[in-house]
Structure 1
Amino acid sequence: MSEFSNALSVSSSGLRAQAQRLRHVAENIANADTPGYRRKTVAFEASDAVHGGVAPGPVRLDRSPLSRVYDPAHPLADATGHYQGSNVSLMIEIADAREAQRSYEANLKMFTQARDMSSGLMDLLRR
């Protein structure tokens, strides 16, 4: 029975990690037009070397250069009429969101299958 609980534990850790990744992607998209905003990324690390669980690592700021936006009327504009925008690319964020969504769905399917197998085993043992 512990193998079923290990499978449930691994898939639930994947669900939590992908949910956090989706939260950061949503935050990046929401702040795409915020001046000076740097894109946030999260890497995953092994949380349980024996059973293969995963946990989100520390949140990191993307150090790629900020875009320069020309708008002389903007309050943050310098003498040339430019200000620093964000380094968020909506195409990258959409691709990351899709990848996280698919990984979340795969972990959810694994969780459901392990739960169904465990329930089926309990039904067989009752007979």
Structure 2
Amino acid sequence: MSDLLKSLSFAASGMEAQAMRLRHVSENIANADTPGYHRKVVSFQEEMQTGQVKTGPVTLDGSELLRVYDPGHPLADETGHYDGSNVDLVIEIADAREAQRSYEANLRMFDQARQMTQSLFDLLRR
């Protein structure tokens, strides 16, 4: 019985971690056109005592910001350039799909463990 409860806990922690990842991907997509915005990257770590998945610290992508030429922009320097963001929408959409599929896999695992627990309770009631 405790293994079923552990699997529920593992799946729930995976769903929570993927939901956090999807939140940061959404923030990146929303700020893709924000000047000076650095892409947020979420890392994952396993807690050794519990075996659950947790999100690690959110870090900023250190890659170069895109230099945009727009002499009429209020942030433009004397050459007409300003720092854009380093968000690549193709990468963000791929990350969002991966997070969604991982969330769905954890959800299926959670549902299977819940059904097995319910079946066990039904057997014990007889």
- 2: CA distance between counterparts of 1:50 and 1:78? 53
- 1: CA distance between counterparts of 2:44 and 2:9? 16
Task: Name the amino acid aligned to 2:23.
Answer: R
Instruction: Give the alignment's TM-score, normalised by structure 1.
Output: 0.97
Instruction: Give the alignment's TM-score, normalised by structure 2.
Output: 0.98
Unaligned runs of 5+ residues in structure 1 are none
C-alpha RMSD of the superposition: 0.8
Kindly provide the CA deviation profile for residues 23-82 of structure 1, in whole angstroms up to 9, marking residues without a partner as x: 0000000000000000000100012x2542100000000000000001000000011101
2:40 matched residue in structure 1: 40
Unaligned runs of 5+ residues in structure 2 are none
Listed as ranges, the matches of 1:1-127 within 5 Å are 1-47=1-47, 49-127=48-126
The DSSP-based 3-state class of the residue aligned with 1:124 is helix
Q: Percent identity?
A: 68
- Paired residues in the alignment total 126
The DSSP-based 3-state class of the residue aligned with 2:73 is coil
